[in-house]
Amino acid sequence: MYKNIFIALLLFICLSQTINAQETHDVKRGETLYGVSEKYGVSISDLVKANPIASKGLRKGMNLVIPLLHESIDTVIYQMYKLKPLESFYSIKNKFGVSQEELLVFNPKLAEGFRSGTFIKVPQNEELYVTEELGSLSSNESENNKKIKDKKFKLKSEYNIAFMLPLYLDKNDTIDTYSELQEDIHIYKKSTYGLDFYSGAKIAIDFVHNEGMNLNVHVYDTQNDIKETFDLVSGKEFDQMDLVIGPFYSKNFKIASEILSRRNIPTIAPLSTKGNLLENIPNAFQVIPSLKKQITYLSNFIAQNYSDKNITLVRRNNKDEQKYAQWMTSFLNHDSILYFKEIIVEGAVIDSIHHELDSMAETNIILIPSNEKDFVTDMLTKLNATRDSNFIVFGMPEWFSFKELDLNYLMDLNVHLPNTGFISYEDSLTNYFVKKYQKSNSEDPSRRFAFSGFDITYYFLSVLYEQGGISPDMYMKTRDMLGLNFDFNYNRNRKNGSRNQFVQIITYEDLEIIRLEKNKLNPF
Q: Return d(Cα 439, Cα 451) in angstroms, integer.
A: 15
Cis peptide before 289 (omega within 30 of 0): no
Looking at residue 492, its pLDDT comes to 63
Q: Is 365 helix (H, G, I), strand (E, B) or coil?
A: strand
Show the beta-strand stretches assigned E in 186-280.
215-221, 243-245, 267-269
**CATH number 3.30.450.20 given to 22-124:** no
C-alpha pair distances (Å), 437 with each of 146, 217, 248: 36, 19, 21
For residue 297, which of 172, 439, 447, 397 has the smallest C-alpha distance? 397
Q: CB-based burial of residue 319 (10 Å sphere; 0-12 exposed, 13-18 middle, 19+ buried)?
A: middle
Q: Is 451 helix (H, G, I), strand (E, B) or coil?
A: helix
- DSSP result, 384-421: HHTT-S-EEEE--GGGGG-TTS-HHHHHHTT-EEEES-
- Under DSSP, the state recorded for 170 is G
pLDDT at 180: 47
Q: How far apart are CA 476 and CA 267, in angstroms?
A: 15
H or E stretch including 449?
none
The conformation of residue 3, written as its DSSP 8-state character, comes to H
Q: Among 523, 490, 395, which residue's Cα sits nearest to residue 141?
A: 490
* Bridge partners for 365 per DSSP: 311, 392
Domain spans of the chain, in order of start = 22-124, 139-289+424-502, 292-419
CATH 3.40.50.2300 for the 292-419 domain, yes or no: yes
3-class secondary-structure state, position 381? helix
Question: CB 230: neighbour CB atoms within 10 A?
Answer: 15
Predicted pLDDT at 389: 65
Contacts (Cβ under 8 Å, ≥6 apart) of 416: 298, 301, 392, 393, 394, 395, 505, 506, 507, 516
22-124 and 292-419 have identical folds: no
- What per-residue confidence (pLDDT) applies to 6? 55
pLDDT given for residue 149 in this prediction: 44
Taking the C-alpha atoms of residue 368 and residue 345, their distance in angstroms, rounded to an integer, is 11
- Give, rounded to a whole angstrom, the gap between the first and last alpha carbons of the chain: 44
How high is the pLDDT of residue 54?
82
DSSP 288: S
Beta carbons within 10 angstroms of residue 142's beta carbon: 15
Contact 285, 502 (CB under 8 A): no
pLDDT (tens place) for every residue of the chain, 524 residues total: 555 555 555 545 533 333 333 456 888 888 888 888 877 767 787 778 777 778 888 888 887 877 644 344 554 556 678 888 888 888 888 777 777 877 887 788 888 899 888 888 887 654 444 444 434 444 444 444 444 444 468 899 999 999 999 998 877 654 444 444 445 556 777 888 899 999 999 999 999 999 999 999 999 999 988 889 999 999 889 999 999 999 999 889 999 999 999 899 999 999 888 878 888 898 999 999 888 889 999 999 999 999 888 899 999 989 889 999 999 999 988 777 778 889 998 877 777 676 667 666 678 899 999 999 889 999 999 888 887 668 899 999 999 988 888 899 999 999 999 999 888 887 888 999 999 999 988 889 988 899 999 999 999 999 999 999 998 878 888 888 998 999 987 766 668 889 998 999 999 998 888 888 553 443 33
Looking at the structure, give the CATH architecture of the domain made up of residues 139-289+424-502.
Answer: 3-Layer(aba) Sandwich (3.40)
DSSP letter (8 states) at residue 376: H
